[in-house]
Structure 1
Amino acid sequence: MRILHHLPLSPYSRKIRLALAEKRIPFELRVEKVWERRPEFLELNPAGTVPVLVEENGLVIADSYAIAEYLDEAYPDIPLFGRTLAERAEVRRLLSWFDNLFGQEVSRNLIWERHLKRQLGHGHPDGAAIRQGYANLKHHLDEIGFLAERRTWLAGAQISMADFAAAGHLSALDYANDVDWSHNQSARDWYARVKSRPCFRALLADRISGLEPPPHYADLDF
């Protein structure tokens, strides 16, 4: 069986889970506590990060962007990078935005500082970083809302890896009740459409020991 090494609150792991499910590719999830730095896992990915995909033939692909590109090339029946050069360029632009800018400005300041830093023994949460994360999130929600008002999906007419990258971050934040969905109605409406897709069911069923999601997390109508 194909295996995806992941962490439940990793936005990058969630992106790949959504892509695999959307493409109807069967896989088994294995939680990898990356802070333990298991030698067996480091052999798969010396960087020690998730997600890591191990194919049935033993092929190992590490890094969420590399996995995303691989999936579209290896399983092209349901394309998630667009069909034209222009569409693919826009998907890649938005992937860079979510994987890098959103990840640094929002997810790191909220998921890491609020929920993981103390638990993993890295000191107390940085209040200033958390406040900045919330402020940054509003700007990103506005940009998502801007795109959602002008396009069917974030990168264009078809759902793409850009939507799953955004949803990976937002679903992790939403699980921790960190998203004020009243801030931008268009972003909220877009997210409601994404999480209504069958590929989202497993994420909405997730439960993490010691951290319960808010009631609206699994509610398709918020």
Structure 2
Amino acid sequence: MRILHHFPLSPFSRKVRLVLSEKRLPFELKIEKVWERRPEFLDLNPAGTVPMLVEENGLSIPDSTVICEYLEEAYPDTPLLGRTLAERVEVRRLTAWFDGKFHHEVTRNLVGEKYLKRLMGRGNPDATAMRAGYTNIRYHLDYIGWLAETRKWLAGPSLSQADFAAAAQLSVLDYIGDVDWSLSPPTKEWYAKVKSRPCFRSLLNDRVTGMNPPEHYGDLDF
């Protein structure tokens, strides 16, 4: 059985979980508390980050971008990078946007400060960072809403890694109750469509110690 080393509130781990499940590839989850820097895990991935995928043949693949590229090449029957060159460029552009810009401007400032900092024993939340996160999420919700209104899926005509990258970030924020869905009805409608896919079920069942999600978190018709 392939193993995915992950952390439940890591959006990058969640993105890989969605891709694996959408491709109908069975896998076992192993929670990795990266701040503990276990020697056994560092032997697998010297960077000490999650997600980290270990294939049944022993191949170890680090980093969500590398993992998703690998899965697309190794298991192409369910394509998630687009079918034309132009579509593949757009999928990669938006995936990089959500993995990079969205995470840096929003998720890190909210989930990182409100939850991960306390979990890792790194002091109190930074109020300035949190204010920036709440401001920035409005612009990102508007952008996602515009994409959702002008395209069938975020990157074009087909469901892609871009949808999963965006949904992974939002699902973590939604777990801690930090998404005001009333700010962008088109974004909410798109997220409900992604959230209703079978690949999303395990994410909706996730629970982390000491923090329960809002009631609407697991509701497909929220």
Settle same-fold status: TM greater than 0.5.
yes
Alpha-carbon distance between aligned partners in 1 of 2:121 and 2:197, rounded to the nearest angstrom: 37
The AA in structure 1 aligned to 2:84 is T
Give the 5 Å matches for 1:6-25.
6-25=6-25
Give the 5 Å matches for 1:199-210.
199-210=199-210
Alpha-carbon distance between aligned partners in 1 of 2:95 and 2:191, rounded to the nearest angstrom: 16
Alpha-carbon distance between aligned partners in 2 of 1:12 and 1:191, rounded to the nearest angstrom: 17
The corresponding residue for 2:197 is 197
The AA in structure 2 aligned to 1:212 is N
Q: Which runs of 4+ in 1 moved over 2 A?
A: none
The corresponding residue for 1:153 is 153
The corresponding residue for 1:49 is 49
Q: Percent same amino acid among aligned pairs?
A: 68
What is the root-mean-square deviation in Å for CA atoms of aligned residues?
0.5
Q: Name the SS for the 2:119 alignment partner.
A: coil
What is the deviation of 1:118? Answer: 2.1
Q: Name the SS for the 1:9 alignment partner.
A: coil
Alpha-carbon distance between aligned partners in 2 of 1:80 and 1:200, rounded to the nearest angstrom: 15
Q: Deviations over 1:166-207 (max 9, x none)?
A: 000000110111100000000000000000000000101111
The corresponding residue for 2:87 is 87
What is the deviation of 1:119? Answer: 2.3
**112-121 or 186-195: bigger deviation:** 112-121
Q: Deviations over 1:94-146 (max 9, x none)?
A: 01101110010001000110111122111110001001101101100000000
Report whether the alignment pairs 1:165 with 2:165: yes
The corresponding residue for 2:140 is 140
Q: Name the SS for the 1:105 alignment partner.
A: helix
Q: Name the SS for the 2:146 alignment partner.
A: helix
The corresponding residue for 1:96 is 96
Alpha-carbon distance between aligned partners in 2 of 1:128 and 1:84, rounded to the nearest angstrom: 43
Structure 1: 5+ residue stretches without partners: none
Alpha-carbon distance between aligned partners in 2 of 1:25 and 1:121, rounded to the nearest angstrom: 36
Alpha-carbon distance between aligned partners in 1 of 2:220 and 2:149, rounded to the nearest angstrom: 20
Alpha-carbon distance between aligned partners in 1 of 2:33 and 2:81, rounded to the nearest angstrom: 30
Alpha-carbon distance between aligned partners in 2 of 1:88 and 1:77, rounded to the nearest angstrom: 16
Alpha-carbon distance between aligned partners in 1 of 2:100 and 2:147, rounded to the nearest angstrom: 18
Give the 5 Å matches for 1:69-84.
69-84=69-84
Give the 5 Å matches for 1:205-220.
205-220=205-220
